[in-house]
Amino acid sequence: MAMATVLSLPSSCFSSSVSSSSFLYSAKAQSFPRKRQTPHVTRSLIVNSISSPGIETLPPALQSFWKWVCDKGVLSNKAPPVMPGIVPEGLGLVAQKDIARNEVVLEVPKKFWINSDTVAASEIGKVCGGLKPWISIALFLIREKSKEDSPWRSYLDILPQTTDSTIYWSEEELSEIQGTQLLSTTLGVKEYVQSEFLKVEQEVILPHMDLFPTPITLEDFSWAFGILRSRAFSRLRGQNLVLIPLADLINHSPSITTEEYAWETKQAGLFSRDLLFSLRTPVFVKAGEQVLIQYDLGKSNAELALDYGFIESRPERNAYTLTLQISESDPFLGDKLDIAESNGLGETAYFDIILGCSLPPAMLPYLRLVALGGTDAFLLESIFRNKVWGFLGLPVSRANEELICRVVRDACASALSGYHTTIEEDEKLREGGKLDPRLEVAVGIRTGEKKVLEQIDGIFRERELELDELEYYQERRLKDLGLVGEQGDIIFWESN
């Protein structure tokens, strides 16, 4: 399920240097939603109604889950327009009738949500109060999964044991994304999950083995992390991380490009304090077809691969993040930091470059600020403080502009040298077809990153060719003072 950034990861999970420069780094790859892979069934099944014989042909675990949904009153609608079915992605929601655009397809009462409140009310609630929400929910899922008599048994039995997220890839599979920002992000996330596990093991699990009688392993913890990362809903009023049984079967469609979210929480009635999770379809759906939504238009392919294990073919999903940093040894660190912070940036700044799009507006000014020095350093004086960012929006001097071009191009060359294939080799692989799903993701990711890097290099290569034609600060200043003629010649006045 589409989760905007549900899990907050430390910045150390995202940074890796690719430049010998003191101020340019290959950035934090994104933390940066095809949906998680459910049971490995590839045949399609259309179920026409709840009472349809088709329900009997579903896997036993799914039959049991649907019975639980119906018996427990998970759905507020007595005749829901959707029900679970086998779809190409694994499990999904299948329309039982024609469903109009923006029509509600299901509503789930809060008592069937799994969130921090669920954990607090459980037997382990008393030892989970000070934990991060995702960790407490992860422990709850693991513990309930180990209990045969868990009230959540039917739901837990349909959850996948793994997904195609890169956090579950083998070393051999990860070698296919060598050199990518996604690889460094994936390794950072795995390290983060391991460190959190070791911490919670020592502080909560081992001291309370009466509450956790079944051993909990790092593999169990990683499973729960992946489940939350791929299935939890976010951006809900007053709720940061929520699992919604049945609703989390909704799959993603790249063809749906509406910015509107397809879910919300609302009151169960005019005078009721109870909450409902409401899911609607953003497009018209015919009976027998799968109901789909857009997970998040703002996610890059790297984020999609990390969270869900799939990518899209749309060029704008390909991104590369450049990290720029004011060196701690810069003699003008204090002044530069003051200017950066006055303009919403800091000592380190991250800029996402998207394939086919122009550079972020603040990137060039920040680059010029970081590179500022020598005879240009006078612009850092306090007298210019309120105007300097505007000055940096245009070329400062030939030396400054040449430096930023060289540093960025060197960084791009260094990053490109880290990949073990060329764009041409990758595209030939993709044209050949029949790639393993994970290899297809790997090839798509590394191709996309390399294209963005080549785009960045091309922008600054063209800029290098224009260095002699650009107008710099001193020329602009002289023009403002009326000391430069139309042909660029300096005007001298002689007194009578």
As annotated, the binding site includes: 89-91, 231, 235, 248, 251-252, 263, 295, 308
Q: How far is CA 252 from CA 169, 291, 293, in A?
A: 21, 9, 5
**Contact residues for 139 (Cβ-Cβ < 8 A; gap 6+):** 119, 124, 128, 131, 200, 204, 205, 212, 216, 224
Count the neighbouring beta carbons within 10 Å of the beta carbon of residue 123: 11
Q: In which region does residue 287 sit, left (phi positive, over 0), alpha (psi from -120 to 50) or beta (all else)?
A: beta
Q: From the annotation, which residues make up the binding site for substrate? A: 231, 235, 248, 263, 295, 308
Residue 50 near residue 30, CB atoms below 8 Å: no
The helix (H) or strand (E) run that includes residue 109 is strand 104-109
Residue with tokens 């009310």: 121
On the CB side of 293, CA atoms within 13 Å amount to: 26
First to last CA, the chain: 80
Is 419 catalytic? The answer is no
Question: Cβ of 114: how many Cβ atoms within 10 Å?
Answer: 23
Query: CA-CA distance, 141 to 192, in Å (whole number)?
Result: 19
Cα-to-chain-centroid distance, residue 141: 23
| Structural tokens at position 50 | 């709840």
Measure the CA–CA gap between 290 and 276, rounded to whole angstroms.
23
Name 160's Cβ contacts closer than 8 Å, sequence gap at least 6: 36, 37, 38, 39, 90, 227
d(C-alpha 390, C-alpha 398), whole Å: 17
C-alpha to C-alpha distance for 34 and 254, rounded to whole angstroms: 8
Within 10 angstroms of residue 100's Cβ, the number of other Cβ atoms is 11
In angstroms, rounded to a whole number, what is the distance separating the alpha carbons of residues 106 and 451? 41
Q: What residue has token string 């009472």?
A: 51
**Bridge pairing between strands 251-252 and 292-293:** parallel
Cβ–Cβ under 8 Å, residues 299 and 90: no
Active-site residue (options: 295, 320, 350, 473): 295
Q: What are the structure tokens assigned to 445, written together?
A: 């990711």
Cα 104 from Cα 364, distance rounded (Å): 46
Q: What is the DSSP letter of 58?
A: S
What φ, ψ does residue 314 adopt, rounded to 5°?
Answer: -65, 130
- Residue owning tokens 């003072």: 481
Alpha carbon of 376 to those of 85, 173, 364, 400, 471: distances in Å?
66, 49, 16, 8, 15
**What residues are labeled active site?**
295
